[in-house]
Structure 1
Amino acid sequence: MQLAVPAGSLDYWQRRLGEHHVGASNIEVFDRRRLVFRHPSGIEYVMVGVEGDTREGYTGGGVPAEYAIHGIHGVGVHVANPENMVEFLSDSFYGKALLEEGDRMVHTVGQPGRGGAVELVVNRREEPGTWRYGSGTIHHFAWNAETLENQDELKFEIEGVGYTDISELKDRRSSSSTAAKRSSPS
Protein backbone atom coordinates (compact mmCIF):
# COMPACT_ATOMS: atom_id res chain seq x y z
CA MET A 1 0.00 0.00 0.00
CA GLN A 2 1.39 3.38 -0.99
CA LEU A 3 0.23 6.38 1.01
CA ALA A 4 0.38 9.93 -0.37
CA VAL A 5 1.90 12.47 2.00
CA PRO A 6 2.92 16.06 1.26
CA ALA A 7 6.29 16.43 -0.43
CA GLY A 8 8.87 17.28 2.21
CA SER A 9 7.04 15.49 5.06
CA LEU A 10 8.98 12.22 5.08
CA ASP A 11 11.40 13.39 7.82
CA TYR A 12 8.40 14.17 10.04
CA TRP A 13 6.95 10.71 9.41
CA GLN A 14 10.25 8.96 10.05
CA ARG A 15 10.53 10.72 13.43
CA ARG A 16 6.88 10.05 14.30
CA LEU A 17 7.08 6.36 13.42
CA GLY A 18 10.30 6.07 15.44
CA GLU A 19 8.60 7.69 18.45
CA HIS A 20 5.98 4.93 18.19
CA HIS A 21 8.68 2.22 17.94
CA VAL A 22 8.02 1.51 14.28
CA GLY A 23 11.15 1.08 12.23
CA ALA A 24 11.13 2.96 8.94
CA SER A 25 13.70 2.90 6.16
CA ASN A 26 14.45 5.31 3.36
CA ILE A 27 14.54 3.86 -0.12
CA GLU A 28 14.86 5.48 -3.50
CA VAL A 29 12.50 4.37 -6.26
CA PHE A 30 12.20 6.16 -9.59
CA ASP A 31 14.67 8.78 -8.33
CA ARG A 32 12.37 9.70 -5.44
CA ARG A 33 12.80 9.10 -1.75
CA ARG A 34 10.19 6.91 -0.09
CA LEU A 35 9.69 5.83 3.48
CA VAL A 36 9.03 2.12 4.02
CA PHE A 37 7.70 0.52 7.19
CA ARG A 38 5.91 -2.69 8.08
CA HIS A 39 2.68 -3.56 9.79
CA PRO A 40 3.32 -5.94 12.75
CA SER A 41 2.21 -8.85 10.50
CA GLY A 42 4.94 -7.93 7.99
CA ILE A 43 2.84 -6.17 5.36
CA GLU A 44 4.86 -3.39 3.70
CA TYR A 45 3.57 0.18 3.65
CA VAL A 46 5.22 2.97 1.71
CA MET A 47 4.89 6.73 2.13
CA VAL A 48 5.39 8.69 -1.06
CA GLY A 49 5.90 12.46 -1.01
CA VAL A 50 3.50 14.04 -3.51
CA GLU A 51 3.39 17.63 -4.79
CA GLY A 52 0.02 19.37 -5.06
CA ASP A 53 -2.31 16.64 -3.77
CA THR A 54 -5.59 18.53 -3.34
CA ARG A 55 -7.28 15.89 -1.18
CA GLU A 56 -7.79 16.89 2.44
CA GLY A 57 -5.27 15.20 4.72
CA TYR A 58 -6.21 13.21 7.82
CA THR A 59 -5.16 15.17 10.91
CA GLY A 60 -6.27 12.68 13.56
CA GLY A 61 -3.90 11.62 16.31
CA GLY A 62 -2.31 15.04 16.49
CA VAL A 63 -0.83 15.03 12.98
CA PRO A 64 -0.46 18.62 11.73
CA ALA A 65 -2.23 19.36 8.41
CA GLU A 66 1.06 20.13 6.64
CA TYR A 67 2.18 16.51 7.21
CA ALA A 68 -1.17 14.70 6.99
CA ILE A 69 -1.73 11.60 4.87
CA HIS A 70 -3.92 12.57 1.92
CA GLY A 71 -4.96 9.06 0.94
CA ILE A 72 -3.76 6.26 -1.24
CA HIS A 73 -1.07 7.10 -3.77
CA GLY A 74 -1.36 3.70 -5.38
CA VAL A 75 -0.93 0.01 -4.93
CA GLY A 76 2.05 -2.24 -5.33
CA VAL A 77 1.35 -5.64 -6.85
CA HIS A 78 3.89 -8.45 -6.85
CA VAL A 79 3.70 -10.39 -10.09
CA ALA A 80 5.65 -13.30 -11.50
CA ASN A 81 4.78 -12.47 -15.11
CA PRO A 82 4.40 -8.72 -15.55
CA GLU A 83 3.46 -9.05 -19.22
CA ASN A 84 0.08 -10.56 -18.27
CA MET A 85 -0.70 -7.79 -15.80
CA VAL A 86 0.43 -5.05 -18.19
CA GLU A 87 -1.92 -6.45 -20.83
CA PHE A 88 -4.74 -6.68 -18.29
CA LEU A 89 -4.22 -3.10 -17.07
CA SER A 90 -4.07 -1.80 -20.62
CA ASP A 91 -7.01 -3.75 -22.02
CA SER A 92 -9.39 -3.67 -19.06
CA PHE A 93 -8.54 -0.40 -17.29
CA TYR A 94 -7.00 1.60 -20.14
CA GLY A 95 -3.84 1.78 -18.06
CA LYS A 96 -0.96 3.77 -19.41
CA ALA A 97 2.69 2.97 -18.82
CA LEU A 98 4.28 5.76 -16.83
CA LEU A 99 7.69 4.63 -15.52
CA GLU A 100 9.92 1.57 -15.64
CA GLU A 101 13.08 0.87 -13.65
CA GLY A 102 14.66 -2.52 -13.10
CA ASP A 103 12.06 -4.92 -11.74
CA ARG A 104 9.42 -2.18 -11.23
CA MET A 105 6.99 -0.50 -13.56
CA VAL A 106 4.22 2.00 -12.87
CA HIS A 107 1.00 2.29 -14.80
CA THR A 108 -1.66 4.85 -14.17
CA VAL A 109 -5.38 4.09 -14.25
CA GLY A 110 -8.22 6.52 -13.64
CA GLN A 111 -7.66 10.07 -12.53
CA PRO A 112 -4.07 11.03 -11.75
CA GLY A 113 -3.51 11.85 -8.10
CA ARG A 114 -6.46 9.79 -6.85
CA GLY A 115 -4.74 6.54 -5.97
CA GLY A 116 -4.50 5.44 -9.59
CA ALA A 117 -0.85 4.37 -9.61
CA VAL A 118 -0.40 0.62 -10.02
CA GLU A 119 3.21 -0.34 -9.38
CA LEU A 120 4.12 -3.79 -10.59
CA VAL A 121 7.05 -5.43 -8.82
CA VAL A 122 8.43 -8.56 -10.42
CA ASN A 123 8.66 -11.34 -7.82
CA ARG A 124 10.03 -14.57 -9.20
CA ARG A 125 11.42 -15.78 -5.87
CA GLU A 126 8.15 -17.28 -4.68
CA GLU A 127 5.50 -19.16 -6.60
CA PRO A 128 2.18 -17.32 -7.01
CA GLY A 129 -0.20 -18.48 -4.32
CA THR A 130 2.53 -18.61 -1.66
CA TRP A 131 2.26 -14.94 -0.81
CA ARG A 132 0.90 -14.65 2.69
CA TYR A 133 -2.07 -12.91 4.21
CA GLY A 134 -1.94 -11.44 7.66
CA SER A 135 -3.72 -8.99 9.87
CA GLY A 136 -3.97 -5.71 7.98
CA THR A 137 -3.58 -7.33 4.55
CA ILE A 138 -4.99 -5.41 1.65
CA HIS A 139 -6.90 -8.24 0.03
CA HIS A 140 -8.58 -6.43 -2.83
CA PHE A 141 -8.65 -3.16 -4.70
CA ALA A 142 -11.69 -1.19 -5.78
CA TRP A 143 -11.74 1.33 -8.60
CA ASN A 144 -14.30 4.06 -9.01
CA ALA A 145 -16.20 3.23 -12.20
CA GLU A 146 -18.36 6.40 -11.84
CA THR A 147 -21.74 4.69 -12.39
CA LEU A 148 -23.18 1.29 -11.57
CA GLU A 149 -23.71 0.75 -15.30
CA ASN A 150 -20.01 1.36 -15.99
CA GLN A 151 -19.12 -0.90 -13.08
CA ASP A 152 -21.37 -3.64 -14.48
CA GLU A 153 -19.78 -3.38 -17.95
CA LEU A 154 -16.28 -3.46 -16.46
CA LYS A 155 -17.10 -6.50 -14.31
CA PHE A 156 -18.34 -8.48 -17.32
CA GLU A 157 -15.37 -7.41 -19.44
CA ILE A 158 -12.89 -8.54 -16.77
CA GLU A 159 -14.72 -11.83 -16.27
CA GLY A 160 -14.73 -12.26 -20.06
CA VAL A 161 -10.93 -12.31 -20.18
CA GLY A 162 -10.75 -14.98 -17.48
CA TYR A 163 -10.58 -13.17 -14.14
CA THR A 164 -13.39 -14.52 -12.01
CA ASP A 165 -12.70 -13.35 -8.46
CA ILE A 166 -14.81 -10.20 -8.70
CA SER A 167 -17.23 -9.24 -5.96
CA GLU A 168 -20.80 -8.21 -6.47
CA LEU A 169 -21.52 -4.67 -7.61
CA LYS A 170 -21.75 -2.12 -4.80
CA ASP A 171 -22.61 1.54 -4.69
CA ARG A 172 -20.16 2.87 -2.11
CA ARG A 173 -21.17 6.50 -2.43
CA SER A 174 -23.66 6.50 0.47
CA SER A 175 -22.44 7.56 3.90
CA SER A 176 -23.52 4.24 5.40
CA SER A 177 -20.97 2.39 3.27
CA THR A 178 -17.91 4.50 4.04
CA ALA A 179 -16.70 2.32 6.89
CA ALA A 180 -13.79 0.10 5.99
CA LYS A 181 -14.65 -3.58 5.68
CA ARG A 182 -12.44 -5.87 7.70
CA SER A 183 -12.08 -9.54 7.03
CA SER A 184 -10.42 -12.30 8.98
CA PRO A 185 -7.39 -13.97 7.46
CA SER A 186 -8.14 -17.45 6.17
Structure 2
Amino acid sequence: MYVIDTTLAPGSRISPDSTLQRLVFALPAAIQAKVRKDQRKLLGKDAAKQAPLPWDEHGLVTYSFLRTSRRSQPLICDRRDEPLPRRSRDQLRVGQRVRLSLRQVPRLGKPRLGTVGSTRLEVLKVQLPLVDAPAGKGKPASPHSIQTVKMPLPVDLLQEVERLAEADGWSVSAWLRNAIESQVSREQGRIGTNRPAA
Protein backbone atom coordinates (compact mmCIF):
# COMPACT_ATOMS: atom_id res chain seq x y z
CA MET A 1 0.00 0.00 0.00
CA TYR A 2 1.24 3.48 -0.87
CA VAL A 3 -0.17 6.80 0.36
CA ILE A 4 0.77 9.95 -1.55
CA ASP A 5 -0.16 13.62 -1.39
CA THR A 6 -0.41 15.00 -4.91
CA THR A 7 -2.61 17.05 -7.26
CA LEU A 8 -4.76 15.81 -10.11
CA ALA A 9 -3.02 16.41 -13.41
CA PRO A 10 -4.58 17.47 -16.74
CA GLY A 11 -6.37 14.52 -18.31
CA SER A 12 -8.26 13.67 -15.10
CA ARG A 13 -11.99 13.33 -15.68
CA ILE A 14 -14.53 12.79 -12.89
CA SER A 15 -17.92 13.58 -14.33
CA PRO A 16 -21.43 12.36 -13.48
CA ASP A 17 -22.19 12.50 -17.23
CA SER A 18 -19.42 10.10 -18.22
CA THR A 19 -19.31 6.37 -17.53
CA LEU A 20 -15.52 6.15 -17.85
CA GLN A 21 -13.72 8.14 -15.15
CA ARG A 22 -10.00 8.89 -15.10
CA LEU A 23 -7.48 10.03 -12.49
CA VAL A 24 -4.08 11.27 -13.68
CA PHE A 25 -1.45 12.08 -11.07
CA ALA A 26 2.30 12.31 -10.59
CA LEU A 27 4.01 9.59 -8.61
CA PRO A 28 6.88 10.88 -6.41
CA ALA A 29 10.34 9.43 -7.11
CA ALA A 30 10.56 7.79 -3.66
CA ILE A 31 7.29 5.92 -4.30
CA GLN A 32 8.45 4.94 -7.80
CA ALA A 33 11.50 3.24 -6.25
CA LYS A 34 9.25 1.41 -3.77
CA VAL A 35 6.89 0.31 -6.57
CA ARG A 36 9.85 -1.07 -8.59
CA LYS A 37 11.04 -3.04 -5.56
CA ASP A 38 7.55 -4.45 -4.96
CA GLN A 39 7.21 -5.24 -8.69
CA ARG A 40 10.27 -7.51 -8.41
CA LYS A 41 8.57 -9.35 -5.53
CA LEU A 42 5.31 -9.75 -7.47
CA LEU A 43 6.75 -10.81 -10.84
CA GLY A 44 10.19 -12.12 -9.99
CA LYS A 45 13.53 -10.44 -10.76
CA ASP A 46 13.87 -11.53 -14.38
CA ALA A 47 10.28 -10.72 -15.39
CA ALA A 48 10.36 -7.37 -13.58
CA LYS A 49 13.38 -6.26 -15.65
CA GLN A 50 11.30 -6.53 -18.84
CA ALA A 51 7.93 -5.51 -17.39
CA PRO A 52 6.60 -2.04 -18.28
CA LEU A 53 6.35 0.44 -15.42
CA PRO A 54 2.87 1.59 -14.28
CA TRP A 55 3.73 5.26 -15.10
CA ASP A 56 4.82 7.15 -18.19
CA GLU A 57 8.14 8.91 -18.91
CA HIS A 58 6.97 11.98 -16.92
CA GLY A 59 6.10 9.90 -13.83
CA LEU A 60 2.35 10.23 -14.46
CA VAL A 61 -0.03 7.41 -13.59
CA THR A 62 -3.40 7.12 -15.33
CA TYR A 63 -6.08 5.18 -13.46
CA SER A 64 -9.38 4.60 -15.26
CA PHE A 65 -12.51 3.11 -13.76
CA LEU A 66 -16.21 2.77 -14.53
CA ARG A 67 -18.55 5.03 -12.58
CA THR A 68 -21.00 2.12 -12.38
CA SER A 69 -18.46 -0.45 -11.13
CA ARG A 70 -18.10 -0.88 -7.39
CA ARG A 71 -15.06 -3.11 -7.81
CA SER A 72 -12.76 -0.64 -9.54
CA GLN A 73 -14.22 2.63 -8.22
CA PRO A 74 -12.13 4.18 -5.43
CA LEU A 75 -13.69 5.49 -2.26
CA ILE A 76 -13.92 9.28 -2.51
CA CYS A 77 -13.97 10.94 0.89
CA ASP A 78 -13.48 14.23 2.71
CA ARG A 79 -10.60 15.17 4.98
CA ARG A 80 -12.13 13.24 7.90
CA ASP A 81 -12.65 10.07 5.81
CA GLU A 82 -16.40 10.65 5.48
CA PRO A 83 -17.56 9.39 2.06
CA LEU A 84 -18.58 12.21 -0.30
CA PRO A 85 -22.05 11.91 -1.87
CA ARG A 86 -22.18 11.85 -5.67
CA ARG A 87 -23.45 15.45 -5.86
CA SER A 88 -20.31 16.69 -4.04
CA ARG A 89 -17.82 14.92 -6.29
CA ASP A 90 -17.74 17.83 -8.74
CA GLN A 91 -15.11 19.26 -6.36
CA LEU A 92 -12.76 16.61 -7.71
CA ARG A 93 -11.11 18.33 -10.67
CA VAL A 94 -7.75 19.09 -12.32
CA GLY A 95 -5.43 20.91 -9.92
CA GLN A 96 -7.27 19.57 -6.82
CA ARG A 97 -5.03 18.54 -3.93
CA VAL A 98 -5.64 14.90 -3.04
CA ARG A 99 -4.28 12.16 -0.82
CA LEU A 100 -4.35 8.86 -2.67
CA SER A 101 -4.15 5.35 -1.24
CA LEU A 102 -2.74 2.97 -3.87
CA ARG A 103 -1.81 -0.66 -4.18
CA GLN A 104 0.12 -2.53 -6.84
CA VAL A 105 -1.53 -5.58 -8.35
CA PRO A 106 -0.58 -7.93 -11.20
CA ARG A 107 -2.52 -7.32 -14.42
CA LEU A 108 -5.29 -9.87 -14.95
CA GLY A 109 -5.08 -12.41 -17.74
CA LYS A 110 -2.17 -14.27 -19.25
CA PRO A 111 0.52 -12.17 -20.93
CA ARG A 112 0.68 -12.39 -24.72
CA LEU A 113 3.11 -14.84 -26.25
CA GLY A 114 6.66 -13.54 -26.10
CA THR A 115 5.84 -10.94 -23.39
CA VAL A 116 6.17 -10.94 -19.62
CA GLY A 117 3.51 -10.13 -17.06
CA SER A 118 3.06 -6.62 -15.73
CA THR A 119 1.53 -4.80 -12.80
CA ARG A 120 -0.76 -1.84 -12.42
CA LEU A 121 -1.43 0.70 -9.68
CA GLU A 122 -4.95 0.61 -8.32
CA VAL A 123 -6.43 3.65 -6.53
CA LEU A 124 -8.29 2.49 -3.42
CA LYS A 125 -9.13 5.86 -1.87
CA VAL A 126 -9.17 9.50 -2.94
CA GLN A 127 -9.19 11.86 0.03
CA LEU A 128 -9.83 15.59 -0.43
CA PRO A 129 -7.89 17.26 2.41
CA LEU A 130 -9.64 20.65 2.02
CA VAL A 131 -13.22 19.39 1.73
CA ASP A 132 -15.82 18.29 4.27
CA ALA A 133 -18.81 16.13 3.43
CA PRO A 134 -22.09 18.04 3.76
CA ALA A 135 -24.11 17.35 6.89
CA GLY A 136 -26.92 14.84 6.39
CA LYS A 137 -30.58 15.59 7.03
CA GLY A 138 -31.20 16.41 10.65
CA LYS A 139 -27.49 16.75 11.41
CA PRO A 140 -25.95 20.09 12.41
CA ALA A 141 -23.58 21.68 9.94
CA SER A 142 -19.98 20.73 10.66
CA PRO A 143 -17.83 23.58 11.96
CA HIS A 144 -14.92 21.87 10.20
CA SER A 145 -16.34 22.90 6.84
CA ILE A 146 -15.33 26.52 7.42
CA GLN A 147 -12.08 26.83 5.52
CA THR A 148 -11.12 30.51 5.61
CA VAL A 149 -11.81 33.22 8.13
CA LYS A 150 -9.84 36.44 7.84
CA MET A 151 -9.34 37.68 11.37
CA PRO A 152 -6.18 39.51 12.46
CA LEU A 153 -4.99 38.24 15.85
CA PRO A 154 -1.99 39.12 18.03
CA VAL A 155 0.86 36.66 17.45
CA ASP A 156 0.72 35.14 20.96
CA LEU A 157 -3.07 34.60 20.72
CA LEU A 158 -2.75 33.12 17.22
CA GLN A 159 -0.11 30.67 18.46
CA GLU A 160 -2.42 29.56 21.28
CA VAL A 161 -5.35 29.14 18.86
CA GLU A 162 -3.13 27.08 16.52
CA ARG A 163 -2.08 24.85 19.43
CA LEU A 164 -5.69 24.31 20.57
CA ALA A 165 -6.95 23.71 17.01
CA GLU A 166 -4.20 21.14 16.38
CA ALA A 167 -5.01 19.37 19.66
CA ASP A 168 -8.68 19.10 18.59
CA GLY A 169 -7.78 18.08 15.03
CA TRP A 170 -9.46 21.15 13.49
CA SER A 171 -8.32 23.85 11.14
CA VAL A 172 -7.54 27.18 12.87
CA SER A 173 -10.47 28.91 11.16
CA ALA A 174 -12.90 26.10 12.07
CA TRP A 175 -11.76 26.18 15.70
CA LEU A 176 -12.21 29.99 15.82
CA ARG A 177 -15.65 29.75 14.23
CA ASN A 178 -16.72 27.11 16.74
CA ALA A 179 -15.36 29.15 19.68
CA ILE A 180 -17.19 32.27 18.47
CA GLU A 181 -20.47 30.39 17.94
CA SER A 182 -20.19 28.81 21.42
CA GLN A 183 -19.56 32.23 23.02
CA VAL A 184 -22.48 33.82 21.16
CA SER A 185 -24.76 30.97 22.21
CA ARG A 186 -23.70 31.34 25.90
CA GLU A 187 -24.26 35.11 25.81
CA GLN A 188 -27.66 34.71 24.19
CA GLY A 189 -28.62 32.27 26.95
CA ARG A 190 -27.33 34.65 29.63
CA ILE A 191 -29.25 37.68 28.42
CA GLY A 192 -32.28 35.68 27.31
CA THR A 193 -32.29 36.54 23.60
CA ASN A 194 -32.30 32.89 22.49
CA ARG A 195 -35.87 32.25 23.69
CA PRO A 196 -38.46 31.69 20.97
CA ALA A 197 -40.76 34.64 20.33
CA ALA A 198 -44.22 34.27 21.97
TM class by smaller structure: under 0.3
Q: Which has the higher contact order (CA 8 A, sep 6+)?
A: 2
TM-score when normalising by structure 1? 0.27
TM-score when normalising by structure 2? 0.26
Higher normalized strand content (fraction of residues): 1
**Based on CA coordinates, which of the two structures has the bigger radius of gyration?**
2
